[in-house]
Amino acid sequence: MKNMTSGMIEIMLFTIGMSFVLAIIYRVLTNPEEMRRIKENMKEVQAKVKKAQKSGDTDQVNALTSEMLKGSQKQFTQNMKPMMASMLIFFVFIGFLRAQYQGVLIALPFFVPFIGSMIGWFKWYILITIPFTFFFRKLLGVE
């Protein structure tokens, strides 16, 4: 069984590395320009829907809603390939972490509401993953 400090640092480094690799996968397997274009188009269509709803034009609302559905479908399609690759890597990575760090407790230097100050490896993984994934995705321009 690993000690608390080395386990904490090792999990953090593995997690940061994995977050970076997953952000790169999303960057490579999606077209950021296409994603931005789809998002902008969706915003424009939403504005048109609101305008049509205010004027009471149900036919236009239905047509615009259908257009929004097509945009959502394009977005989903763009995200599917990197999502599948990420899931495969995630499950391998989590299996490795579980095998290595099962039973390791990490003492946080502060109290987290609803979590406490002693957490297991998975909660530590979650606490590290969220900010670093956000950071790397912004850094690489992933939509």
- pLDDT (0 to 100) of residue 132: 96
- What's the rounded mean pLDDT across residues 128-138? 94
User: In sequence order, which residues have a C-beta less than 8 Å from that of residue 110 and are 6 or more positions away?
Assistant: 117
Q: Is the pLDDT of residue 2 over 70?
A: no
Residue 78's CB is within 10 A of a number of other CB atoms, namely: 19
Q: 7-21, 56-70, 78-92, 128-142: which has the minimum mean pLDDT?
A: 56-70
More confident: 30 or 18: 18
pTM of the entire predicted model: 0.75
| Rounded alpha-carbon distances, angstroms, from residue 83 to 18, 35, 66, 86 | 14, 15, 25, 5
CA–CA separation, 27 vs 50, rounded Å? Answer: 33
Residue 3: pLDDT band (50, 70, 90) is: low
- pLDDT (0 to 100) of residue 18: 94
- pLDDT (0 to 100) of residue 134: 95
- pLDDT (0 to 100) of residue 62: 86
Q: Is the pLDDT of residue 1 over 60?
A: no
Q: What is the mean pLDDT of the chain?
A: 88
Q: Residue 128 has which token pair?
A: 């590290």
CA–CA separation, 1 vs 7, rounded Å? Answer: 9
Q: Where are the domains of the chain?
A: 4-140
Kind plus residue range of the DSSP H or E element containing 92: helix 58-101
Q: 7-16, 17-26, 52-61: which has the minimum mean pLDDT?
A: 52-61
